[in-house]
Amino acid sequence: MSGRKDSAIEVRGVARRFGDQQALSDIDLTVGEGEFFSLLGPSGCGKTTLLRILAGLDLPDSGSVRIGGEDVAHVPAHRRQVNTVFQSYALFPHLSVKDNVAFGLRMKKVAPNATAGRVARAMELVRIAPLADRKPAELSGGQKQRVALARALVNEPRVLLLDEPLAALDLKLRKELQTELRDLQRRLGMTFLCVTHDQEEALVLSDTIAVMRAGRVEQVGSPQELYERPRTRFVSGFLGSCNLLAATVRERRASSVLVDTPAGLLRLEPAPAGDAALRSAFTLAVRPEKVVLLPAAASAGENRLPARITSALYVGAESRYVLEAGGQLLSAVAMNIGAAGAATAGLAEGAGAIAYLPPAALVVLDD
Protein backbone atom coordinates (compact mmCIF):
# COMPACT_ATOMS: atom_id res chain seq x y z
CA MET A 1 0.00 0.00 0.00
CA SER A 2 1.41 3.38 -0.91
CA GLY A 3 2.25 5.96 1.73
CA ARG A 4 3.24 3.59 4.53
CA LYS A 5 2.94 5.31 7.91
CA ASP A 6 4.52 4.34 11.22
CA SER A 7 5.22 0.69 11.88
CA ALA A 8 2.39 -1.38 13.33
CA ILE A 9 4.69 -4.36 14.04
CA GLU A 10 8.45 -4.54 14.48
CA VAL A 11 10.15 -7.90 14.92
CA ARG A 12 13.88 -7.90 15.62
CA GLY A 13 16.12 -10.96 16.00
CA VAL A 14 13.31 -13.28 17.05
CA ALA A 15 14.27 -16.92 17.53
CA ARG A 16 12.27 -19.88 18.84
CA ARG A 17 13.31 -23.46 19.44
CA PHE A 18 11.22 -26.51 20.32
CA GLY A 19 13.57 -29.22 21.59
CA ASP A 20 15.96 -29.99 18.72
CA GLN A 21 13.89 -28.06 16.19
CA GLN A 22 14.79 -24.46 15.38
CA ALA A 23 11.36 -23.08 14.48
CA LEU A 24 12.50 -19.47 13.98
CA SER A 25 16.00 -18.13 13.38
CA ASP A 26 16.83 -14.43 13.77
CA ILE A 27 13.61 -13.05 12.21
CA ASP A 28 13.56 -9.34 11.31
CA LEU A 29 10.31 -7.88 9.96
CA THR A 30 8.57 -4.52 9.82
CA VAL A 31 4.84 -4.26 9.07
CA GLY A 32 3.56 -0.81 8.18
CA GLU A 33 0.48 0.78 9.71
CA GLY A 34 -2.59 0.03 7.60
CA GLU A 35 -0.81 -2.63 5.55
CA PHE A 36 -2.03 -6.06 4.44
CA PHE A 37 1.03 -8.20 5.18
CA SER A 38 1.25 -11.93 4.50
CA LEU A 39 3.59 -14.60 5.83
CA LEU A 40 3.83 -17.17 3.04
CA GLY A 41 5.56 -20.52 3.13
CA PRO A 42 5.16 -24.31 3.28
CA SER A 43 4.05 -26.23 6.34
CA GLY A 44 6.69 -26.20 9.06
CA CYS A 45 8.44 -23.01 7.90
CA GLY A 46 7.66 -21.14 11.14
CA LYS A 47 4.96 -18.73 9.98
CA THR A 48 2.32 -19.88 12.50
CA THR A 49 4.90 -19.88 15.30
CA LEU A 50 5.65 -16.24 14.48
CA LEU A 51 1.95 -15.37 14.45
CA ARG A 52 1.48 -17.03 17.86
CA ILE A 53 4.37 -14.96 19.24
CA LEU A 54 2.74 -11.78 17.93
CA ALA A 55 -0.57 -12.83 19.48
CA GLY A 56 1.05 -13.52 22.85
CA LEU A 57 0.19 -17.23 22.70
CA ASP A 58 3.89 -18.14 22.67
CA LEU A 59 7.11 -16.40 23.70
CA PRO A 60 10.37 -16.07 21.75
CA ASP A 61 13.60 -17.47 23.14
CA SER A 62 15.35 -14.27 22.07
CA GLY A 63 14.64 -11.07 20.18
CA SER A 64 12.02 -8.36 20.57
CA VAL A 65 8.49 -7.65 19.34
CA ARG A 66 6.89 -4.21 19.27
CA ILE A 67 3.23 -3.63 18.39
CA GLY A 68 2.16 -0.04 17.86
CA GLY A 69 5.56 1.03 19.19
CA GLU A 70 5.06 -0.86 22.48
CA ASP A 71 7.45 -3.61 23.54
CA VAL A 72 5.10 -6.52 24.24
CA ALA A 73 7.62 -8.89 25.83
CA HIS A 74 5.73 -8.84 29.11
CA VAL A 75 2.25 -7.99 27.83
CA PRO A 76 -0.18 -10.94 28.08
CA ALA A 77 -2.27 -11.96 25.09
CA HIS A 78 -5.52 -10.42 26.34
CA ARG A 79 -3.89 -7.01 26.77
CA ARG A 80 -2.18 -6.80 23.39
CA GLN A 81 -3.55 -4.56 20.63
CA VAL A 82 -4.28 -7.59 18.44
CA ASN A 83 -7.05 -10.06 17.75
CA THR A 84 -6.71 -13.40 15.97
CA VAL A 85 -8.97 -15.16 13.47
CA PHE A 86 -8.25 -18.90 13.37
CA GLN A 87 -8.76 -21.39 10.56
CA SER A 88 -11.07 -23.45 12.83
CA TYR A 89 -13.33 -20.39 13.53
CA ALA A 90 -13.34 -21.29 17.28
CA LEU A 91 -16.99 -20.21 17.75
CA PHE A 92 -18.98 -21.06 20.88
CA PRO A 93 -21.58 -23.60 19.68
CA HIS A 94 -24.12 -22.75 22.39
CA LEU A 95 -24.13 -19.00 21.65
CA SER A 96 -25.95 -17.18 18.88
CA VAL A 97 -24.05 -15.27 16.21
CA LYS A 98 -24.80 -12.01 18.02
CA ASP A 99 -23.55 -13.36 21.35
CA ASN A 100 -20.43 -14.86 19.77
CA VAL A 101 -19.56 -11.46 18.35
CA ALA A 102 -20.28 -9.73 21.65
CA PHE A 103 -18.32 -12.19 23.81
CA GLY A 104 -15.02 -10.26 23.90
CA LEU A 105 -16.71 -6.97 24.75
CA ARG A 106 -18.63 -8.56 27.59
CA MET A 107 -15.42 -10.03 29.00
CA LYS A 108 -14.00 -6.50 28.97
CA LYS A 109 -17.16 -5.30 30.75
CA VAL A 110 -18.03 -2.79 28.02
CA ALA A 111 -21.37 -1.11 28.75
CA PRO A 112 -24.38 -2.99 27.27
CA ASN A 113 -25.53 -0.08 25.10
CA ALA A 114 -22.04 0.41 23.66
CA THR A 115 -21.70 -3.35 23.14
CA ALA A 116 -24.99 -3.57 21.22
CA GLY A 117 -23.98 -0.73 18.90
CA ARG A 118 -20.50 -2.12 18.20
CA VAL A 119 -21.84 -5.64 17.61
CA ALA A 120 -24.45 -4.35 15.17
CA ARG A 121 -21.82 -2.38 13.23
CA ALA A 122 -19.42 -5.34 13.12
CA MET A 123 -22.11 -7.71 11.85
CA GLU A 124 -23.19 -5.21 9.23
CA LEU A 125 -19.58 -4.74 8.14
CA VAL A 126 -19.14 -8.44 7.30
CA ARG A 127 -22.73 -8.89 6.09
CA ILE A 128 -24.07 -11.27 8.75
CA ALA A 129 -26.70 -9.03 10.41
CA PRO A 130 -29.61 -11.24 9.18
CA LEU A 131 -27.95 -14.24 10.90
CA ALA A 132 -27.78 -12.61 14.35
CA ASP A 133 -29.98 -15.16 16.14
CA ARG A 134 -28.64 -18.33 14.52
CA LYS A 135 -26.31 -20.82 16.21
CA PRO A 136 -22.99 -21.83 14.57
CA ALA A 137 -24.41 -25.25 13.63
CA GLU A 138 -26.92 -23.48 11.37
CA LEU A 139 -24.22 -21.62 9.40
CA SER A 140 -22.18 -22.45 6.32
CA GLY A 141 -18.39 -22.36 6.36
CA GLY A 142 -18.31 -18.93 4.78
CA GLN A 143 -20.82 -17.58 7.29
CA LYS A 144 -18.83 -19.00 10.21
CA GLN A 145 -15.72 -17.28 8.90
CA ARG A 146 -17.58 -13.97 8.74
CA VAL A 147 -18.71 -14.42 12.36
CA ALA A 148 -15.12 -15.08 13.40
CA LEU A 149 -14.04 -11.91 11.57
CA ALA A 150 -16.78 -9.84 13.21
CA ARG A 151 -15.87 -11.17 16.66
CA ALA A 152 -12.26 -10.05 16.11
CA LEU A 153 -13.09 -6.69 14.53
CA VAL A 154 -15.61 -5.68 17.19
CA ASN A 155 -12.72 -5.30 19.65
CA GLU A 156 -11.17 -2.64 17.36
CA PRO A 157 -7.64 -4.08 17.50
CA ARG A 158 -4.56 -2.25 16.24
CA VAL A 159 -3.63 -5.39 14.26
CA LEU A 160 -5.80 -8.25 13.01
CA LEU A 161 -3.95 -11.58 12.83
CA LEU A 162 -5.35 -14.19 10.44
CA ASP A 163 -4.16 -17.80 10.64
CA GLU A 164 -4.99 -19.56 7.34
CA PRO A 165 -8.45 -17.93 7.54
CA LEU A 166 -9.85 -19.35 4.30
CA ALA A 167 -8.12 -22.74 4.14
CA ALA A 168 -11.18 -24.74 5.26
CA LEU A 169 -13.42 -23.35 2.50
CA ASP A 170 -14.05 -24.75 -0.97
CA LEU A 171 -12.24 -23.13 -3.90
CA LYS A 172 -15.11 -20.98 -5.24
CA LEU A 173 -16.04 -19.60 -1.81
CA ARG A 174 -12.37 -19.05 -0.95
CA LYS A 175 -11.90 -16.86 -4.01
CA GLU A 176 -15.04 -14.86 -3.19
CA LEU A 177 -13.94 -14.26 0.39
CA GLN A 178 -10.43 -13.30 -0.72
CA THR A 179 -11.94 -10.33 -2.53
CA GLU A 180 -14.20 -9.49 0.41
CA LEU A 181 -11.33 -9.70 2.89
CA ARG A 182 -9.14 -7.43 0.79
CA ASP A 183 -11.96 -4.90 0.33
CA LEU A 184 -12.72 -5.00 4.07
CA GLN A 185 -9.10 -4.25 4.96
CA ARG A 186 -9.00 -1.32 2.53
CA ARG A 187 -12.22 0.15 3.95
CA LEU A 188 -11.05 -0.15 7.55
CA GLY A 189 -7.47 0.94 6.96
CA MET A 190 -6.50 -1.56 9.69
CA THR A 191 -3.27 -3.56 9.71
CA PHE A 192 -3.89 -7.18 8.71
CA LEU A 193 -1.22 -9.87 9.07
CA CYS A 194 -2.16 -13.13 7.38
CA VAL A 195 -0.50 -16.55 7.54
CA THR A 196 -1.02 -18.65 4.42
CA HIS A 197 0.57 -21.41 2.35
CA ASP A 198 -1.56 -20.47 -0.69
CA GLN A 199 0.58 -18.53 -3.18
CA GLU A 200 -2.35 -17.12 -5.15
CA GLU A 201 -4.08 -16.00 -1.95
CA ALA A 202 -0.96 -14.12 -0.85
CA LEU A 203 -0.64 -12.43 -4.26
CA VAL A 204 -4.31 -11.38 -4.30
CA LEU A 205 -4.52 -10.09 -0.73
CA SER A 206 -1.20 -8.56 0.12
CA ASP A 207 0.56 -5.23 -0.03
CA THR A 208 3.71 -6.99 1.17
CA ILE A 209 4.67 -10.66 1.41
CA ALA A 210 7.41 -12.30 3.48
CA VAL A 211 8.33 -15.68 2.01
CA MET A 212 9.53 -18.02 4.77
CA ARG A 213 11.53 -21.22 4.62
CA ALA A 214 12.85 -23.40 7.45
CA GLY A 215 12.42 -20.72 10.11
CA ARG A 216 13.98 -17.90 8.10
CA VAL A 217 12.73 -15.12 5.85
CA GLU A 218 13.88 -15.74 2.27
CA GLN A 219 12.62 -12.50 0.72
CA VAL A 220 10.26 -9.62 1.52
CA GLY A 221 8.58 -7.45 -1.09
CA SER A 222 5.44 -6.54 -2.97
CA PRO A 223 3.62 -9.35 -4.80
CA GLN A 224 4.87 -8.00 -8.15
CA GLU A 225 8.46 -7.70 -6.93
CA LEU A 226 8.55 -11.24 -5.56
CA TYR A 227 6.95 -12.74 -8.64
CA GLU A 228 8.85 -10.76 -11.28
CA ARG A 229 12.21 -10.55 -9.48
CA PRO A 230 12.70 -13.51 -7.10
CA ARG A 231 16.13 -13.63 -5.53
CA THR A 232 16.43 -17.37 -4.78
CA ARG A 233 15.51 -20.71 -6.31
CA PHE A 234 13.07 -21.34 -3.48
CA VAL A 235 11.14 -18.10 -3.97
CA SER A 236 11.08 -18.50 -7.76
CA GLY A 237 9.66 -22.01 -7.46
CA PHE A 238 7.33 -21.52 -4.50
CA LEU A 239 5.65 -18.38 -5.81
CA GLY A 240 4.44 -19.88 -9.08
CA SER A 241 6.33 -22.13 -11.50
CA CYS A 242 9.67 -21.14 -13.02
CA ASN A 243 12.26 -22.38 -15.50
CA LEU A 244 15.80 -22.51 -14.10
CA LEU A 245 18.83 -22.44 -16.40
CA ALA A 246 22.50 -22.79 -15.49
CA ALA A 247 24.37 -19.94 -17.18
CA THR A 248 28.06 -19.24 -17.82
CA VAL A 249 29.22 -15.80 -18.90
CA ARG A 250 30.66 -15.70 -22.41
CA GLU A 251 30.89 -11.95 -22.98
CA ARG A 252 30.17 -8.80 -20.97
CA ARG A 253 28.92 -5.73 -22.80
CA ALA A 254 28.10 -2.18 -21.71
CA SER A 255 24.47 -2.87 -20.77
CA SER A 256 24.04 -6.61 -21.32
CA VAL A 257 25.73 -10.00 -20.91
CA LEU A 258 25.94 -13.01 -23.23
CA VAL A 259 25.69 -16.37 -21.45
CA ASP A 260 25.89 -19.99 -22.47
CA THR A 261 23.10 -22.24 -21.22
CA PRO A 262 22.11 -25.86 -21.98
CA ALA A 263 19.27 -24.40 -24.09
CA GLY A 264 21.58 -22.17 -26.14
CA LEU A 265 23.21 -18.74 -26.19
CA LEU A 266 21.19 -16.00 -24.44
CA ARG A 267 21.56 -12.28 -23.86
CA LEU A 268 20.56 -10.68 -20.55
CA GLU A 269 19.57 -7.04 -20.39
CA PRO A 270 20.08 -5.19 -18.18
CA ALA A 271 23.38 -6.74 -17.12
CA PRO A 272 23.46 -8.34 -13.65
CA ALA A 273 24.18 -5.90 -10.81
CA GLY A 274 25.73 -6.26 -7.38
CA ASP A 275 27.55 -9.49 -6.55
CA ALA A 276 26.16 -11.19 -9.65
CA ALA A 277 28.08 -8.74 -11.86
CA LEU A 278 31.34 -10.29 -10.62
CA ARG A 279 30.32 -13.93 -11.06
CA SER A 280 31.22 -16.00 -14.10
CA ALA A 281 28.34 -18.45 -13.54
CA PHE A 282 24.87 -18.19 -12.05
CA THR A 283 21.31 -19.51 -12.31
CA LEU A 284 18.71 -17.81 -14.49
CA ALA A 285 14.97 -17.90 -13.82
CA VAL A 286 12.25 -17.24 -16.40
CA ARG A 287 8.50 -17.62 -15.88
CA PRO A 288 6.66 -19.96 -18.31
CA GLU A 289 4.33 -17.19 -19.47
CA LYS A 290 7.37 -15.09 -20.45
CA VAL A 291 8.50 -17.77 -22.92
CA VAL A 292 7.12 -16.79 -26.33
CA LEU A 293 6.33 -19.74 -28.62
CA LEU A 294 6.79 -19.25 -32.36
CA PRO A 295 6.35 -21.67 -35.28
CA ALA A 296 9.46 -23.59 -36.32
CA ALA A 297 9.49 -21.62 -39.59
CA ALA A 298 9.98 -18.31 -37.76
CA SER A 299 13.18 -16.49 -38.56
CA ALA A 300 16.23 -17.08 -36.37
CA GLY A 301 17.42 -14.34 -34.05
CA GLU A 302 18.73 -13.36 -30.66
CA ASN A 303 17.36 -15.44 -27.75
CA ARG A 304 15.35 -17.57 -30.22
CA LEU A 305 16.01 -21.21 -29.40
CA PRO A 306 15.08 -24.15 -31.67
CA ALA A 307 12.90 -26.53 -29.66
CA ARG A 308 10.61 -29.53 -29.88
CA ILE A 309 7.24 -29.69 -28.13
CA THR A 310 7.19 -32.80 -25.93
CA SER A 311 3.86 -32.05 -24.22
CA ALA A 312 0.90 -29.82 -25.05
CA LEU A 313 -2.04 -29.51 -22.65
CA TYR A 314 -5.21 -27.53 -23.35
CA VAL A 315 -6.60 -26.14 -20.08
CA GLY A 316 -9.30 -23.75 -21.24
CA ALA A 317 -8.10 -20.17 -21.22
CA GLU A 318 -4.50 -21.25 -21.80
CA SER A 319 -2.35 -24.06 -23.17
CA ARG A 320 0.67 -25.39 -21.31
CA TYR A 321 3.70 -26.75 -23.08
CA VAL A 322 6.88 -28.60 -22.23
CA LEU A 323 9.69 -27.96 -24.70
CA GLU A 324 13.07 -29.54 -25.24
CA ALA A 325 15.66 -26.97 -26.32
CA GLY A 326 19.17 -28.39 -26.59
CA GLY A 327 19.74 -30.16 -23.31
CA GLN A 328 17.12 -28.14 -21.41
CA LEU A 329 13.45 -28.72 -20.70
CA LEU A 330 11.39 -25.52 -20.66
CA SER A 331 7.80 -24.89 -19.59
CA ALA A 332 5.75 -22.37 -21.56
CA VAL A 333 2.22 -21.02 -21.26
CA ALA A 334 0.23 -19.42 -24.09
CA MET A 335 -3.23 -17.87 -23.89
CA ASN A 336 -5.84 -19.41 -26.20
CA ILE A 337 -6.95 -16.19 -27.85
CA GLY A 338 -7.81 -17.34 -31.38
CA ALA A 339 -11.01 -19.25 -32.10
CA ALA A 340 -9.09 -22.26 -33.36
CA GLY A 341 -6.65 -22.25 -30.46
CA ALA A 342 -3.03 -23.23 -30.66
CA ALA A 343 -3.49 -25.96 -33.26
CA THR A 344 -3.61 -23.43 -36.11
CA ALA A 345 -0.15 -22.20 -35.15
CA GLY A 346 1.24 -25.72 -35.46
CA LEU A 347 2.09 -25.88 -31.77
CA ALA A 348 1.11 -29.51 -31.32
CA GLU A 349 2.86 -32.28 -29.42
CA GLY A 350 5.89 -33.54 -31.33
CA ALA A 351 6.14 -30.45 -33.53
CA GLY A 352 9.13 -28.19 -33.82
CA ALA A 353 8.97 -24.63 -32.51
CA ILE A 354 11.03 -21.60 -31.63
CA ALA A 355 11.19 -20.54 -27.98
CA TYR A 356 11.93 -16.84 -27.57
CA LEU A 357 13.24 -15.84 -24.12
CA PRO A 358 13.12 -12.02 -23.89
CA PRO A 359 16.37 -10.59 -22.43
CA ALA A 360 14.46 -8.56 -19.80
CA ALA A 361 12.54 -11.67 -18.64
CA LEU A 362 15.69 -13.49 -17.54
CA VAL A 363 16.29 -13.05 -13.80
CA VAL A 364 19.66 -13.74 -12.16
CA LEU A 365 19.24 -15.58 -8.84
CA ASP A 366 21.47 -15.22 -5.79
CA ASP A 367 21.89 -18.97 -5.33
Kindly indicate the confidence band of residue 307, based on its pLDDT and cuts at 50, 70 and 90: very high
DSSP secondary-structure letter at 237?
H
315 vs 46, higher pLDDT = 46
Among candidate residues 3, 12, 10, 13, the one with its CA nearest the CA of residue 30: 10
Whether pTM exceeds 0.85: yes
Residue range 273-291, pLDDT digits in tens: 777 778 899 999 999 999 9
Mean pLDDT of 108-130: 90
Residue 63 CB-density burial (10 A; 0-12 exposed, 13-18 middle, 19+ buried) = middle
* Percent of the chain predicted with pLDDT > 90: 66
CB 193 within 8 A of CB 47: no
Question: What span, in angstroms and rounded, lies between the C-alpha atoms of 355 and 332?
Answer: 9
Domains in the chain: boundaries: 7-237, 241-364
The CATH class, in words, for 241-364 is: mainly beta
pLDDT of residue 324: 96
Provide the residue type at 203 as one letter. Answer: L
Kindly indicate the confidence band of residue 87, based on its pLDDT and cuts at 50, 70 and 90: confident
Question: What span, in angstroms and rounded, lies between the C-alpha atoms of 123 and 112?
Answer: 16
**pLDDT, mean over the chain:** 90
Mean pLDDT of 23-36: 96
Mean pLDDT of 33-59: 95
Phi, psi of 277 (to 5 degrees): -65, -20
Q: In 10 A of CB 293, how many CB atoms?
A: 23
Residue range 131-179, pLDDT digits in tens: 999 999 999 888 888 898 899 898 889 999 999 888 877 888 888 888 8
- Architecture of the domain spanning 7-237: 3-Layer(aba) Sandwich (3.40)
CB 137 within 8 A of CB 93: yes
Mean pLDDT of 10-17: 97
Q: Measured between alpha carbons, how far is residue 276 from residues 226, 227, 265, 286, 367 in Å?
A: 18, 19, 18, 17, 10
pLDDT of residue 15: 97
Q: Is the pLDDT of residue 4 over 50?
A: no
Detail the DSSP E strand segments found in the chain.
7-18, 21-32, 36-40, 62-67, 70-71, 82-85, 159-163, 191-196, 208-213, 216-221, 243-252, 257-261, 264-268, 281-286, 292-295, 304-314, 318-325, 328-335, 352-356, 363-364
